[in-house]
Amino acid sequence: MEDSAGGASLPSGPDAKKRRVTYFYEPTIGDYYYGQGHPMKPHRIRMAHNLIVHYSLHRRMEINRPFPAGPADIRRFHTDEYVDFLNSVSPESISDPTYSRHLKRFNVGEDCPVFDGLFGFCQASAGGSIGAAVKLNRGDADIAINWAGGLHHAKKSEASGFCYVNDIVLGILELLKVHRRVLYVDIDVHHGDGVEEAFYTTDRVMTVSFHKFGDFFPGTGHIRDVGVGNGKHYALNVPLNDGMDDESFRGLFQPIIQKVMEVYQPDAVVLQCGADSLSGDRLGCFNLSVKGHADCLRFLRSFNVPLMVLGGGGYTIRNVARCWCYETAVAVGVEPDNKLPYNEYYEYFGPDYTLHVAPGNMENLNAPRDMEKIRNTLLEQLSKLSHAPSVPFQTTPSTIQAPEEKRIWINGQNLAYGMVTIMSQILKMMRKLYADSQVLMQNRLQQMLK
C-alpha cells in the first residue's frame, strides 16, 4: 500500500492535504440477521471491516464504537408510535394482536421483517451516523465514516426497502444544528426517497440522487421532481437506465456536483455509498467498477468540505466489502494493493482474491444523447439558484442531547469527562456568540426541526 501525493491526498484531488478521518464500527453489527433468503445481510459490514483492518487502514483513522441511538434520538425524525413499535416488537410477539394489527400500518413484513435484535440494529446504525455528525460538528474530523448507515428508504412512520430508521435524516438533523446548509448525495442504484421526502420543502438541505428510474423500486425520483415551497429546486434527481458504466456515470456526476458545490456552497456534505450500483449486484442493474464508484467519494473529498460517508444498499456481499474497504482507503488517502491480504473471509473473494473486479459485459442503455439531455436539464435547474440560500440562526441548539462523554466511545472506551466538558463549554460559548450576531430565523426552520 502506498501513500499518494507524498502521503496525503489521492491523485484525483488538486490539494495535498491529509484528512483527519474518524470511523464508526459496532462489533456486533454482523450478528444481526434479517432471515433466510433475505438479500440484506449486515454481515457484509463485518466483512468490510475485516478487510479494512487487514489492509491496516484502521491505523490511519480514529476508531469509534458508536453510542446506541436512544428512542429520544430516533424520535427527532420518526413518530412516537412507530419508534415504540420498533422498540418493543419481536419475532415472538408479532402474532399478538397488539402488534400484528400494526404490521401493515408500519409496512413491516416481508421486505422489512421483524428479526431478533431489530431495534438494537437500528440503534447501532443511527448511533453511528449521529456520532459521525457530532464529530464533524465539533471539528474533530474532516471525514466521518459509518458503513452501517445509509438506510435511505425509511420514512417518518414506516419501514421501507429493508430500512427501518433513517439514520441519514437523523445525521443531517444533527449537522443542521451547526451547519447552515447540508448537501446530500446518493449513488445507490435505488432512489434516495426517504431523505428527499424529509427535506423536500426546505433549502437548508439539497438532495442529489443518481439512480435507476422506471419500473424499479421505489419508483420515485423523476427528473421533474425538484422540491416544493422553500425547497423548490433544492432536490435534484438523475434518472438512469441499465448498464451505467464508469465513464457515463463520471460524465454526469462530476459536472453536476461541481455546479452544485459552486451554487449551493454547502457547509457539510453527506455521501450515501450504496454498493448495489456496482456491476454484478444481486439486485442492481448498473455496471460500475469499484474504482468508478469510489471516484464519487474521491471527487467530493477534493472540495475540502466536512464529509460524512455512509453505506446503503449492496447485495453481492463480497463486492460490497471490496467497495467499502477501497472507499475507506480513498478517504484516508492511500492506494491499497489489489491483491487481498489473507483474512477471515478470504474464501469469499475467490477465484481471483483481488480487491477490484472487472465490470461485466452489460449493454449500456444510457445513450450519449440522453445523458447530454439529462446533464443540460439539471444544469439549467441549478442555474435558477443564483446564490446559496442565506439561513441565519435564531439559536444554535446544543450539538448533542446526551452528555458529550457518553455520546462517542473511542476504541470501546468513553471519552474522558473533564476535557470533553471543558471543550463543550467553550464550543457552546462560541456558538452563542455566533447566534447572537444573527437575525431571527424564519418560522419554517423551527417547524422543520421539530
Give the start-to-end residue ranges of the domains of the chain. 18-448
Residue in the block written with cell 484525483: 12
| CA–CA distances in Å: residue 183 to residues 21, 307, 404 | 19, 10, 26
pTM for this entry: 0.86
Pairing mode, if any, of strands 408-410 and 21-24?
Answer: unpaired
For residue 392, what are the contacts with CB-CB under 8 A and spacing of at least 6?
438, 439, 440, 441
For 58-111, how does the pLDDT look when each residue is reduced to its tens digit (9 = 90+)? 999 999 999 999 999 999 999 999 999 999 999 999 999 889 999 999 999 999
Cell numbers for 102: 400494526
| 333 annotated among ligand-binding-site residues | no
At 301, which amino acid appears?
Answer: R
Concatenate the DSSP letters of all residues of 163-205 into one string.
BSS-HHHHHHHHHTTT-S-EEEEE-SSS--HHHHHHTTT-SSE
| 161 annotated among ligand-binding-site residues | yes
The pLDDT assigned to 2 comes to 56
For 308-360, how does the pLDDT look when each residue is reduced to its tens digit (9 = 90+)? 999 999 999 999 999 999 999 999 999 999 999 999 999 999 999 999 998 99
Catalytic site includes residue 153: yes
Is the separation of the CB atoms in 18 and 9 below 8 Å? yes
For 390-418, how does the pLDDT look when each residue is reduced to its tens digit (9 = 90+)? 665 444 333 344 433 344 444 433 333 33
Cell numbers for 274: 450504496
Catalytic residue among 49, 153, 179, 191: 153
Dihedral angle sign, alpha carbons of residues 428, 77, 209, 334? positive
Name the helix (H) or strand (E) containing 409. Answer: strand 408-410
Is the separation of the CB atoms in 77 and 174 below 8 Å? no
| 15 annotated among ligand-binding-site residues | no
The pLDDT assigned to 386 comes to 62
The pLDDT assigned to 397 comes to 39
Q: Is 321 exposed, middle or buried (0-12, 13-18, 19+ CB in 10 A)?
A: buried
Distance between CA atoms of residues 148 and 27, nearest Å: 11
Share of the chain above pLDDT 90, in %: 80
Please tell me whether residue 122 adopts helix, strand or coil conformation: helix
Cell numbers for 404: 458529550
| 111 annotated among ligand-binding-site residues | yes
CATH of domain 18-448: 3.40.800.20
| 295 annotated among ligand-binding-site residues | no
| 99 annotated among ligand-binding-site residues | no
At 34, which amino acid appears?
Answer: Y
